[in-house]
Amino acid sequence: MIELAIHILLVTGLVISACMVWYMDDLISAAIAFGAFSFLLSLEFLVLQAPDVAIAEAGIGAGLTTAIFVIAIRGTDKKGGDASD
């Protein structure tokens, strides 16, 4: 029962953080929300008894990808949104 509650909490957090990545206007905020998404996904892998994949996801998804996004955003313009405006 407690496992089902953790599942529901994690999957709901995954959906919410994925929507936050989509709706964020600031690109740095979107990158941090993507890091939170990766962290929640690694916790979900840990709950599903795949600690190998959880460590890989926490290292690459939450660590390296967020750093690469932050570096790329710092190297370019800081405006978000569509390319037309």
Residues that bind other proteins (CB under 8 A): 4, 7-8, 11-12, 14-15, 19, 22, 48, 51-52, 55-56, 59-60, 63-64, 67-68, 70-72, 74-75
Query: Residue 76 Cβ, how far from other proteins at the closest point, in Å?
Result: 9
Question: Residue 58 Cβ, how far from other proteins at the closest point, in Å?
Answer: 8
Closest separation between CB of residue 67 and other proteins, Å?
Answer: 4
Q: What are the structure tokens assigned to 68, written together?
A: 């690469």
**From CA 70, how far away is CA 79, in angstroms rounded?**
14
C-alpha angle 25-33-85 in degrees, rounded to nearest 5: 15
Using CA atoms, how far apart are residues 16 and 79, in angstroms rounded to an integer? 23
